[in-house]
A and B are shown apart, each in its own frame.
Chain A
């Protein structure tokens, strides 16, 4: 029942993810941060199997840092997305990583961008993306109300509408959500939407 979704606005990109760590009927933790800050200007929201999610995202994070140390220049969002897709594709026929990723980044030259990366190594550059059971509700909400060049307030309002819809319509809806944003000032946590304190 994991939900990750994201959208691009005017000069920023937003990623929203639920924060529950679940094992069959038990919620072990409801404040698990599933949006990793990849580097100063990239966010990676990941959903999927617990072990794969943590291991693959950390592997990508360390390799992105290594590239920057070796070449003295950070990877662009597009390059990072293609690197991730390549790793997923290589592992696919032997030992697939069951992780779905929404990558959001800000580059000085090209501005904000959002990438949809599937567990079978699909890669698309998109304006809005969603994964998980929540995507059934979030995608249509975003299709209806999204428009290009939204302000931060408009995008947060749309994200809140999606979260409300997921909360009211999904049978085992996650309790808490985290919202992270990336713009020219960097990638940072924006806010939480909680129903339970943990």
Chain B
């Protein structure tokens, strides 16, 4: 796999010396400052770290008695700039499996689409649906083979197969974890707090949806890189359904309505002397 180092090249012209063709107003090849590092051996790792987008998002998923609840915010940020408030971060791999997006949007969208293709091929070849275990392993192996090349993917694969509800966390470092409760992204510590304290296995679908929505709301409240719309999906035995998509600003006022302030002191007219 040929790696693209064009971003790391310095702005010196290719053909030595001042070439008139290059210095007639056209800028030199695009580049950025090389990272200052005293550790030459870690140079490549440092430069990949520099271009790696931080996972500015909040996504969560958990298993409960009626299936899997998946929720995410919808904000895309580039540093301090909010580039979009309406990103679809819950990706529909197939009618009974969902993937969440955290990290590079392009990476997540492309590889989830690719995973959907591989799952469909598995169905056609084996005359049965692929399990969540198998699908997550396919994705984890692909991401592992691109390790160190700058992919940024922090995803959860949630689905319902013959063994019941399944939830896996897969990331671009090559890690894959099976679990019952995960949250990924810059807002995940905030979401974990609300999720952990309110979680019960025997919740109803409505209670679980409200817990997921609340956890996303609290993460968007504190984390600047998360916001927009809190989407909640449910994966049950017959596949996934979208339950709700609420603007977190409106959620704020529904959870914490504005109380009319008590007036402490009234201003009175100054009496002319």
Chain A residues engaging chain B, CB cutoff 8 angstroms: 21, 23, 25-26, 28-29, 32, 49-52, 54-55
What are 16 A-to-B residue pairs whose CB atoms are below 8 Å?
A21-B177, A26-B189, A29-B177, A49-B173, A49-B174, A50-B171, A50-B173, A50-B176, A50-B177, A51-B144, A51-B147, A51-B176, A52-B174, A54-B176, A55-B141, A55-B174
Q: Is B192 an interface residue (CB 8 A)?
A: yes
Given contacts A28-B169, A28-B182, A55-B144, contact A21 B175 (CB under 8 A): yes
Interface size on B, residues (CB 8 A): 17
Chain B residue contacts of A55, Cβ below 8 A = 141, 144, 174
Using Cβ atoms and an 8 Å threshold, which residues of chain A touch B143? 51
Contact of B179 among A29, A50, A52 (CB under 8 A): A29
Q: A51-B173, A51-B175, A55-B144 are in contact. List 5 more A-B contacts (CB 8 A).
A: A23-B175, A26-B188, A28-B179, A32-B177, A49-B175
* B140 / chain A contacts, CB cutoff of 8 Å: 51, 54
Which residues of the other chain, A, contact B144 by a CB distance below 8 angstroms?
51, 55
Q: Bound state CA distance, A131 and B20, in angstroms?
A: 60
**B180's closest neighbor in chain A, by CB?**
A198
- Number of cross-chain contacts by CB at 8 Å: 40
A14 to chain B, nearest CB (A): 26
- Residue contact B174 to A54, C-beta cutoff 8 Å: yes
Contacts of A23 in B (CB 8 A): 171, 175
Question: Could you tell me the distance in whole angstroms from the C-beta of A3 to the nearest C-beta in chain B?
Answer: 18
For the complex formed, measure the closest distance between the CB of A35 and the CB atoms of chain B, giving whole angstroms: 16
Proximity string of chain B (152-174) to chain A, C-beta cutoff 8 Å, 1 when within and 0 when not: 00000000000000000101011
Asked if A50 contacts B174 (CB within 8 A), the reply is: yes
Provide the bound-state CA to CA distance between A25 and B186, in Å. 11
Q: Give Cα A40–Cα B222 distance, bound, in whole angstroms.
A: 50
Q: Is the CB of A28 within 8 A of B177?
A: yes
Chain A residues near B141 (CB-CB < 8 A): 55
Contact A51 B174 (CB under 8 A): yes
Complex Cα gap A50–B154 (Å): 13
A178, B61: Cα distance in complex, Å? 26
- Assess whether B192 is in contact with A50, with CB atoms less than 8 Å apart: no
Once the chains are docked, how many angstroms separate the CA of A109 from the CA of B218? 61
3 closest Cβ contacts across the A-B interface? A51-B174, A50-B175, A51-B144
What residues of A have a CB within 8 angstroms of the CB of B174 in the complex? 49-52, 54-55
Q: Would A25 and B189 count as touching, CB distance under 8 A?
A: yes
Q: Is the CB of A26 within 8 A of B179?
A: no
Bound CA span A26–B177, Å: 14
Q: Which residues of A contact B192 (CB under 8 A)?
A: 26
Cα of A80 to Cα of B175 in the assembled complex, Å: 25
Chain B proximity of A49: nearest CB distance (Å): 7
Chain B residues within an 8 Å CB radius of A49: 173-175
Of the listed residues A49, A51, A54, the one surrounded by the most CB atoms of chain B closer than 10 A to its CB is A51
Distance, CA A154 to CA B251, complexed state (A) = 58
Q: How far is the CA of A32 from the CA of B171 in the complex (A)?
A: 16
**Cβ contacts under 8 Å, B175 to chain A:** 21, 23, 49-51, 54
The residue in chain B whose Cβ has the minimal distance to the Cβ of A24 is B189
Name which residue of chain A comes closest to B182, CB basis.
A28
A25 to B179, CA, bound (A): 18
Assembled-state Cα–Cα distance A49/B176 (Å): 11
Taken together as a complex, chains A and B put the C-alpha atoms of A32 and B168 apart, in Å, by 13
The residue on B at minimum CB distance from A30 is B179
The CA of A51 and the CA of B148, in the complex, are separated in Å by 11
Complex Cα distance A52/B148, Å?
Answer: 12
Interface string of B80-94 (1 = CB under 8 A from A): 000000000000000
**Bound complex: CA of A25 vs CA of B174, how far in Å?**
18
Instruction: Write the nearest CB–CB distance from A198 to chain B, whole angstroms.
Output: 8
A106 to chain B, nearest CB (A): 29
Specify the chain A residue showing the minimal Cβ separation from B189. Answer: A26
Query: Who on chain B is nearest to A27 by CB?
Result: B192
CA of A21 to CA of B182, assembled, Å: 12
Which residues from A are CB-within-8-Å of B188? 26
Alpha-carbon distance A23/B156, docked complex (angstroms): 15
Closest Cβ of chain A: how far from B28's Cβ, in Å?
A: 34
**Contact flags B202-217 to A (C-beta < 8 A → 1, else 0):** 0000000000000000
